[in-house]
């Protein structure tokens, strides 16, 4: 009890201080986790990239910039980066384009449209490897897809054994797997556009296409930006699909960076070089994210 006699002095444990301690306790588990499982490993991966670690002999030797020199001279790397770029670009363009188209379609006032929404979304919840295995089955030389093509008089290629068709296949399989997710996000954004705006545009006599370009696109642009960042970063992390469908082949035509990293580190046990590739992956992800974030000023409309 503090008497009200004008001599009040604040205690050390003020309400704000006590609350602040509670706040720190609330974030502590995650902070410790981030330090232990993200920041420390990130520092270590730099450190490892300067070393070679032999698991079998359990030796850890300093190699200086040797791994980085190797990175520059690696004759396979340009092809790997090419495949990575091709895969990511193809995936992002197809995924976002199809997602937007599907979102516009399932946003129509049609009976039973919810069923179609569910169908387009369903592959998202199908186990990734299961989905990939089925497509591997369908895409075989004597598989079902070529069976149907044959019935139409077309001789289908051996999809997963030709460089071009293999790349197309892994992209398309991945697009169908996850496009439903972006579709739902776009759908939510589309439904967030106030109907009055379309009514106003119709009163103003704007044709549908113009309504889409001048009203819909600007208003859902924040969603487009965020989904594209997520999709781009996600495309760089693709591993299971490649491992199951093509093992990076034929040749290295579908060996994307993450798969290459895995091969170098965990199949050839070149952990130092694998770490160097991880640094490269980190730099690419960082650059692309920053670039996209920079672009938001020019491309994204914000309400405030």
Partner 1 sequence: MAPVTLRQVQKRYGELTVIKGADIAIADGEFVVLVGPSGCGKSTLLRMIAGLEPISGGTVSIGGRVVNDVEPKDRDIAMVFQNYALYPHMTVATNMGFSLEHRGGSKAEIAERVRWAADILGLAPLLDRYPRQLSGGQRQRVAMGRAIVRSPQVFLFDEPLSNLDAQLRVQMRGEIKALHQRLGTTMIYVTHDQVEAMTMADRIVVLNKGNIEQIGAPLDLYDQPANRFVAGFIGSPAMNFIPGRLAAAGFVSDAGAALPLPPGAAPAFAGAALYGVRPEHLDLADDGLPARVRLVEPMGSETHLTLDAAGVPLLAALRRRVHLAPGALVHLRPEPAEAHLFDAETGHRLPPA
Partner 2 sequence: MKTELSPRLKLVLYGLLCVLAVPFVFPTWWMVTSSMKPVSDIFAFPPALIPTTYDFSSYADVFRLQPFARQYFNSAYIAAVVTAGTMLVASFSGYAFARIRFPGHNALFLVVLTGLLIPSEVTIVPLFRMFLKWGMINTHWPLILVPIFGAPSVFATFVMRQFFIALPGELEEAARVDGLSRLKIFWTIALPLARPALAAVAIFTFLHSWNLYLEPVVYLSNPSVFTLPQALTQYVDAYGGPMWNIQLAAATLTALPVLLVFIVAQKHFVEGLAHTGLKG
Measured between alpha carbons, how far is residue 22 from residues 25, 29, 57 in Å?
A: 5, 12, 48
Q: Least distance (Å) from partner 2 to the CB of residue 212?
A: 8
Please state the length of the chain: 304
CA-CA distance, 242 to 93, in Å (whole number)? 19
* Longest distance between any two alpha carbons in the chain, whole Å: 100
- Nearest distance from residue 11's CB to partner 1, in Å? 5
CB atoms under 10 Å from CB of 173, counted, come to 21
Residue 64: both structure tokens together = 């200086």
User: Smallest distance from the beta carbon of 13 to partner 2, in angstroms?
Assistant: 14
* C-alpha dihedral sign at 125, 131, 132, 133: positive
Q: 19 or 199: whose CB is closer to partner 1? A: 19
* Nearer Cβ to partner 2 (31/89): 31
Burial bucket for residue 88 (CB in 10 Å: 0-12, 13-18, 19+):
buried
Stretch of 5-13, 192-200, 232-240, 278-286 lying at the interface with partner 1 (CB under 8 A): 5-13
The Cα 12–Cα 7 span in angstroms is 16
Give the Cα separation of 67 and 270 in Å (integer): 10
Among 4, 155, 204, 303, contact with partner 1 (rule: CB under 8 A): 4
Residue 119: is it exposed, middle or buried by C-beta count within 10 angstroms (0-12/13-18/19+)?
Answer: exposed
**Which residue's CB is nearer to partner 2, number 7 or number 298?**
298
Regarding 3 and contact with partner 1 (CB under 8 A), the answer is: yes
Residue 58's binding partner out of partner 1, partner 2, none, with CB under 5 to 8 Å set by partner kind = none
Closest CB to partner 1 among 10 and 298? 10
Nearer to partner 1 (CB atom), residue 10 or residue 109? 10
Q: What mask of x and - would describe binding to partner 1 in positions 14 to 53, judged by CB under 8 A?
A: xxx-------------------------------------
20 interacts with, out of partner 1, partner 2, none, CB within 5 to 8 A per kind: partner 2
Using CB under 8 A, count the residues that bind partner 1.
12
- Sites of contact with partner 1 (CB under 8 A): 1-4, 6, 8, 10-11, 13-16
């Amino acid at each position: 009890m503090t008497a009200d006699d004008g001599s009040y002095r604040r205690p050390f444990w003020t309400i704000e201080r006590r609350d602040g301690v509670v706040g720190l306790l609330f974030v502590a588990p995650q902070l410790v986790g981030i330090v232990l499982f993200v920041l420390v490993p990130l520092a270590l991966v730099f450190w490892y990239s300067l070393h070679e670690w032999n698991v079998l002999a359990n030796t850890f030797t300093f190699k200086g910039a040797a791994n980085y020199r190797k990175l520059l001279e690696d004759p396979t790397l340009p092809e790997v980066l090419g495949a990575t770029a091709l895969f990511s670009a193809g995936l992002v363009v197809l995924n976002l384009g199809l997602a937007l188209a599907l979102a516009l379609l399932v946003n129509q006032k049609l009976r039973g449209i919810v069923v179609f929404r569910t169908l387009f979304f369903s592959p998202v919840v199908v186990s990734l490897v299961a989905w990939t295995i089925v497509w591997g089955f369908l895409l075989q030389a004597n598989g079902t897809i070529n069976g149907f093509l044959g019935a139409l008089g077309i001789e289908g290629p051996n999809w997963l054994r030709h460089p071009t068709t293999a790349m197309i296949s892994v992209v398309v399989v991945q697009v169908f797997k996850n496009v439903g997710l972006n579709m739902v996000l776009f759908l939510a954004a589309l439904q967030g556009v106030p109907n009055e705006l379309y009514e106003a545009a119709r009163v103003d006599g704007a044709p549908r296409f113009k309504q889409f370009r001048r009203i819909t696109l600007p208003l859902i642009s924040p969603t487009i930006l965020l989904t594209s960042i997520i999709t781009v970063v996600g495309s760089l992390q693709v591993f299971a699909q490649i491992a199951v469908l093509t093992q990076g082949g034929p040749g290295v035509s579908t060996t994307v960076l993450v798969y290459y990293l895995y091969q170098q580190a965990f199949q050839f046990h070149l952990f130092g070089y694998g770490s160097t590739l991880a640094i490269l992956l980190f730099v690419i992800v960082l650059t692309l994210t920053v670039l996209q974030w920079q672009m938001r000023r020019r491309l994204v409309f914000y309400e405030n």
